Structure 1
Amino acid sequence: MRMSPTPKSDIFTYADFDLQALCRQASTLRQGLLCACDPDQRPASGSFNWAIFLSFKDGVRWVFRSPHPRTFMPIEMGEKLLASEAATLRYLRAHSDIPVPDVYHYCASAHNEIGIPFILMSEAPGRPLSKFWRPTGSPQPSLETPSKAKILSQLGSITWKLTQVRFDKIGSLFEEDESFSIKECLSRGHMLHERCFLKIPRGPFASEADFYDSLISAFSKHAEILQLSHHCFVAPVPSQNDYPSSVQYESAVDLWSDFVTIGCKIDSSVNRLDYIIAGDALRDIIHKFPAINPKTFPLCHPDLSVNNIYVDDNYNITCIIDWAFTSSIPESMLLTTPGLPQYRDEISSELHIPFIDGFFAAMPKSTDERSAHRYRQSLEQSQVSWRLSRLLSLDSIGDFTLFATVWHFAYGPEQNLMQYFLHQRRSTHYIRLYSEAQQEDLPVSKIEEDEKDYFRNKDLRKTIAKKLTLMSEWNAQYTDRHPPKLRKDMFVASPNLWKWIQELIQDWEGMS
């Protein structure tokens, strides 16, 4: 008789490891104090790591974290991120009073008695800010503005403290033989969206120019050969903030999806070339950003979201967790008001002030006026740096708007961005690149098959999407022939476009 295999405990959901060896090691680190770990607990899981909790006899709890084996991130990269995060936490503990977890032990490879790479760290006190700060449109009440301002003020203070954690190169921290050093840059813009596979310079970088050049190379190569997911340069994904109701917002997203499905626009040669033009323009623009301190570079937390900020009942910050992808960076990129609730969300303008006030409240009174003036100038221009960072990492839903902000900061509002793109699209250089990129487009038969599947029983929506594609002159943009027949300007889908189409559909249905 064949026996059924014994079911695994929940604790082994993401990996097999030696649980007894883990408890023994944790106990040894606390001079033999008894340690236990519930094998029936289901691990907490994020995008890149999973975690379980260990309990000691005296009530103390530790966190055991290990990287997920992800297809979009080789395990070797996960191990590097783990080693760098552990080194960063240890460095911050030793050289600042920024509230971060204690790292008691870590091993960045699977060659250990537990059997997988891991970090053993203290449990963050308090509760995650996500318990209180709700996203836009959430049915549950969110924090009042004064409480949000209190948190932003504290984040401003922490940002000042990070300006004092400086290195002579741009890159990520690693630890060897109790000595810390800056090595290759593991920033989100260099690693995510399968950019870890790209052949680009990875540092460490001796200057801001070298760092930005590498990041723009990652941006341009991403546009050239990697999947662009939801990124359509002239048709940003609708934002919930632009619509008065969830019904209108969801309808706008549907209309956007219809439009980009026709002709498989997102990964098409037309869309890729728009991003390549933007990347080439950024190489010129980036030199117009002034450096505050061009010789040393501060550390920056890459993801100050409400999931990674812990607070007590009075909204005092008790811990900042998840320092993966941390690197030293140009100071202008650090001096930006964080995006909350998630790092890609642009925070309301009224909350910039408490962040800046918190930054200057933490600054010593002995700081010379010239330095203080440079800091204030950079903080007041932080929206531009924030948008540039989001754009280069493709961590947004509205890339055209981000690019326009950076463009007009560099060249002034009188410079016509639309005309610049139209001119570039008709230049010999980009027409040649477009012809080469067309060779990688999907066959027409495959595109038509996908459209047929998508628009099944959606005849009206298909008609609208096709008409809109015709009016956008989508397939006549990269040409040296006469200007397009229907348009004299550059097509960009705005919230008003989707609202207008919604009204058109309502009128149509009202007449039917």
Structure 2
Amino acid sequence: MSPSSESNIFIYADFDLEAVCRRASTLRQGISCTCDPGQRPASGSFNWAIFILFEDGIQWVFRSPHPRTFMPLDVGVKLLASEAATLRYLKAHSDIPVPEVYDYCASSDNDIKVPFILMSQAPGWPLSKVWVSAGSPLPNLDPSKKAKIMTQLGGITWKLSQLRLDQIGSLYDDDGAFKIEECLWRCYMLRERFLLEGQRGPFTTDADFYESLVSKFLEQAECLRLSHHCFVAPVPSRDDYQSDKQYRQAVDLWNDFVTVGNKIDSADNRLDYIVAGDALRDIVRKFELPTPNPGTFPLCHADLSVNNIYVDDDYNITCIIDWAFTSSVPESMLLSPPSLPQYGDKISPVLHTAFIDGFQAAIPESTEESTVRRYHESLKQGSFHWNLSRLLGLDSIGDYNLFAAVWQSTYGPEKDIGEFFSQQRRSPHYLRLYDEVRKEDRPLWKVERDEEDYFRNKVFKHTIAKKLTLISEWKAKYTADSPRRTRQDMFVASPNLWKWILRFMENWKEMLDADAEVKKRIP
């Protein structure tokens, strides 16, 4: 069947729909199937999918990579091939509930004309229907049911911990045999990091893996776009505000602040991330991890979220989908708590405890006491490694907060972050580096032009953002002794700052309204 203007099914790619049905029918010994050409494909960030219905009521899923601008098709194809191999490995070596892969092709050189996976449909329904994000008007899931989910995820994590590979990397299919090749973990692929050259594994030690992640963090800080990442101005989080309105107003203030001076992609912001990256390198080199199984590494789902967890009506997990980006990892990373509802969201201490309880309950009674003790110690360090992995991958809206948590876990409160950054910024090494990075800053006239366009007819908001920038000393003043413009302090824009400014703006508006009322009454 060829594409037509009336067929929603071809919105993401031109492919041979009849060939899809033929292949599916052949795989089921000739049972006929249909695929509604009027269906609009389901779509995620990296793949689109359609559904195939057999005459006996069985339904399959046909998935293919998106030709996204932020993720080249060849990278998507590589992820697809590794995901297919990972799912087959999990089916062969565990009872973890995952979709079954019936067929796949990691190129467009086939009768269907696109790379694809043909797989079973996940039974049950996605947890995203009931586990909502903060601030949502929808009713949230009962805490006891959330705890039940977390306990089960703990048990599944135990099963993953028993799938040991001799290197850190992603799985591929080599003529029916599984092999480990380059690591496709999120930290290597997302936010344009696939463009960076250098080692992606496979790695033979935890230290090599973490060293590589720090290098990618630093390379992104130096030469890639930083998107919403402003180290000393974390994006406001919905959890910190009483209402959606207040949260949206705080985000608006944040946007105003980072627009003045093009803060995000400035040399000043990049230098902050470089200083943080070098500090993280020192921190990861201090690791002394009580690894229960030295020399081997467990598989880990790279993007566990409520969208990828399916449950039945009693909240028993029926399937876990979306195993793209999966890799074997250091044990410490596997044992960090899951992020729900989405990858960057930290769960509560109560749910973290439920996860740990589920993991420990799954450990067989025959396990040696020393091994159980090492697992227990690793699980206790889970929050630290959660913060570290999200920070290294820039998978957060609050990088400074993550860094502060990692820093304090390592050095305690006696070593002040602000003083450390101020000392580093003034050192000859970072002053030279600042001068190099600043060469890539946008010309001042372009920054001022964009700023003028952004704040057109928003004089009051522009004034507030400029005053706040001045107070923060984002650009330190020139002096005879220090001509460079590196900041000398550690100003951090916290939720309390945005709340204070919002109160000021409300009071100012009330004052103007009252003044206007008085003027109306004057004859």
Paired with 1:479 and 1:421, the residues of 2 have a C-alpha distance of 20
Q: CA deviation at 1:475?
A: 1.3
> Helix, strand or coil: the match of 1:111?
coil
Q: Deviations over 1:121-178 (max 9, x none)?
A: 0000000000111111111101010000000000000000000011010000001111
Instruction: Say if 1:477 and 1:427 are closer, same or farther in 2 by CA, change over 3 A.
Output: farther
The CA RMSD over aligned residues, in Å, is 1.7
Q: CA deviation at 1:413?
A: 2.0
2:401 alignment counterpart: 401
2:337 alignment counterpart: 337
Paired with 1:10 and 1:380, the residues of 2 have a C-alpha distance of 49
Contact 2:85–2:178 (8 Å) recurs in 1: yes
Paired with 1:349 and 1:296, the residues of 2 have a C-alpha distance of 29
Residue 182 of structure 1: which of 177, 180, 202 is its match?
180
Contact 1:125–1:318 (8 Å) recurs in 2: yes
**TM-score by structure 1 length?**
0.97
Paired with 2:403 and 2:4, the residues of 1 have a C-alpha distance of 56
Contact 1:473–1:484 (8 Å) recurs in 2: no
1:415 corresponds to 2:418? no
Paired with 1:103 and 1:296, the residues of 2 have a C-alpha distance of 26
What letter matches 2:17 in structure 1?
L
Paired with 2:484 and 2:491, the residues of 1 have a C-alpha distance of 11
Paired with 1:165 and 1:421, the residues of 2 have a C-alpha distance of 41
Unpaired runs of at least 5, structure 1: none
> Helix, strand or coil: the match of 1:92?
helix
Paired with 1:497 and 1:250, the residues of 2 have a C-alpha distance of 15
Paired with 1:405 and 1:177, the residues of 2 have a C-alpha distance of 45
> Helix, strand or coil: the match of 2:319?
strand
State the percentage of identical aligned residues.
66
Unpaired runs of at least 5, structure 2: 513-523
Paired with 1:494 and 1:244, the residues of 2 have a C-alpha distance of 15
Q: CA deviation at 1:78?
A: 0.9
Contact 1:270–1:478 (8 Å) recurs in 2: no
Q: CA deviation at 1:294?
A: 3.6
Equivalenced residue count is 507
Paired with 2:380 and 2:450, the residues of 1 have a C-alpha distance of 47
Paired with 1:480 and 1:148, the residues of 2 have a C-alpha distance of 60
Q: CA deviation at 1:120?
A: 0.3
2:359 alignment counterpart: 359
What letter matches 1:20 in structure 2?
E
1:87 alignment counterpart: 85
Contact 2:422–2:490 (8 Å) recurs in 1: yes
Contact 1:167–1:297 (8 Å) recurs in 2: yes
Matches within 5 A, 1:262-281: 262-281=260-279
Paired with 2:334 and 2:147, the residues of 1 have a C-alpha distance of 19
Q: CA deviation at 1:370?
A: 1.4
Matches within 5 A, 1:65-76: 65-76=63-74
1:499 corresponds to 2:499? yes
> Helix, strand or coil: the match of 2:475?
helix
1:236 corresponds to 2:231? no
1:143 alignment counterpart: 141
Q: CA deviation at 1:348?
A: 1.3
Q: CA deviation at 1:488?
A: 7.3
Matches within 5 A, 1:445-456: 445-456=445-456
Contact 1:425–1:479 (8 Å) recurs in 2: no
1:131 alignment counterpart: 129
What letter matches 2:421 in structure 1?
F
Contact 2:32–2:54 (8 Å) recurs in 1: yes
2:221 alignment counterpart: 223
Matches within 5 A, 1:44-55: 44-55=42-53
Paired with 2:267 and 2:198, the residues of 1 have a C-alpha distance of 22
Contact 2:126–2:311 (8 Å) recurs in 1: yes
Contact 2:422–2:488 (8 Å) recurs in 1: no
What letter matches 1:362 in structure 2?
A
Instruction: Say if 1:194 and 1:480 are closer, same or farther in 2 by CA, change over 3 A.
Output: farther
**TM-score by structure 2 length?**
0.95
Matches within 5 A, 1:151-230: 151-230=149-228
Residue 113 of structure 2: which of 107, 112, 115 is its match?
115
Q: CA deviation at 1:338?
A: 0.7
Instruction: Say if 1:48 and 1:332 are closer, same or farther in 2 by CA, change over 3 A.
Output: same
Paired with 1:118 and 1:460, the residues of 2 have a C-alpha distance of 53
Contact 1:426–1:479 (8 Å) recurs in 2: no
What letter matches 1:288 in structure 2?
K
Instruction: Say if 1:502 and 1:87 are closer, same or farther in 2 by CA, change over 3 A.
Output: same
Superposed structure 1 runs of 4+ greater than 6 Å apart:
477-480, 482-485
